[in-house]
Amino acid sequence: MEYPLLELGGHGALLHLAPANGFPPATYLPALAPVLKTHRVVSLPPRAMWPGGPPPSDAPGSWTGLAEDLLAGLRHHQLPPVIAVGHSFGAVASLLAALRDGSRIRALAMLDPVIPPPAAMQEYRDRQARGEVGFRPLVEGARKRRSRFDSGEEAFRYWRGKPLFTDWSDQALWRYTRAMLRPLPDGGFTLTWSPAWEAFYYESFYPGTWEEIPRLDPSLPVLVVGGATSDTLLPEAVALLRERIPWGTHLTIAGQGHLFPHSAPGETGRVLSQWLSGLGFPSVGAPDSDFAGPGGLGGIKA
């Protein structure tokens, strides 16, 4: 199945969600709740979530491939220009897509993008040139990730004890659990986003973002939202983004880290809906359908 399209619900102006590495699009539904009242939200998920797709390459790739897939998917489904909302590496992919084909992106929202300060970016570039892994702890952690569970309850209890989810509500973690598990033919469950793909994406970090940003069209509406305690979007990078995208809207969510769309969905939704309401974009094209039913999990379209 090439370029599967996930419908997340809503109707109105078209918005595309690019998720963080390892987080299925459905986990963002609580943060998107107010947006769904005025926008049709879709996601062209990364290859990690393509049904029946091949495993990742043994050699690292580049996040530019995510941007190319996003644009190819928009063309494949003949979608009108989208409001691109991305989180973490999904924010970088959305930025790169806007730079490569601005006709497809009518506005850009980056939620805690993976854009280290320039000195750290150069260090990652140098490591890649030496054939080293830039995000080694994350890569190794992904490769060791437990990928099989007997039940959803077992997976929930396992993840409930992990520091990554300490500030998540039980409701958010259950949504993650449902989105992350798929049944196995011989019983039990495995991960919808495999450890191999998660590690591959960490290995494929793109170090050229600062060189790309000056090419952004100043007429493109841009929102940058960071978590005040994020270990990913650091204060030096926040200040530089304000300097280099002076026409953008720059906000910080107090008391929240890198995963604020999941740990603070209410505040994230308010920020997004307020920014979107200021854009004043009319709906472009009629939605195919309304998927805002129970659970809001939508469906996959080829």
pLDDT (average), residues 219-223: 98
Which of 116, 68, 70 is CA-nearest to residue 234? 116
Tokens 């919808």 correspond to 192
Q: Which has the closest alpha carbon to 263: 20, 47, 36, 13? A: 20
Above 50 in pLDDT, residue 289?
A: no
CATH code for residues 5-147+194-301: 3.40.50.1820
Q: How confident is the model at residue 280 (pLDDT cuts 50, 70, 90)?
A: confident
pLDDT tens digits for 32-74?
A: 999 999 999 999 999 999 998 889 999 999 999 999 999 999 9
- Whole-structure pTM over 0.85, yes or no? yes
Q: Residue 62: which of 174, 180, 201, 182 has the closest Cα? A: 201
Q: Are the CB atoms for 36 and 10 separated by under 8 Å?
A: yes
Residue 52 vs residue 299, higher pLDDT: 52
Domain residue limits, the chain: 5-147+194-301
Please, which pLDDT band fits residue 284 given cuts at 50, 70 and 90? very low
Q: Where are the beta strands (DSSP E) in the chain?
A: 5-9, 13-18, 39-43, 82-87, 105-111, 148-149, 181-183, 189-191, 222-227, 249-253, 300-301
Name beta bridge partners: 190. 148, 182
154-158: long-range contacts (C-beta < 8 A, 24 or more apart)? 155/180, 155/181, 155/189
Residue 292 pLDDT: 30
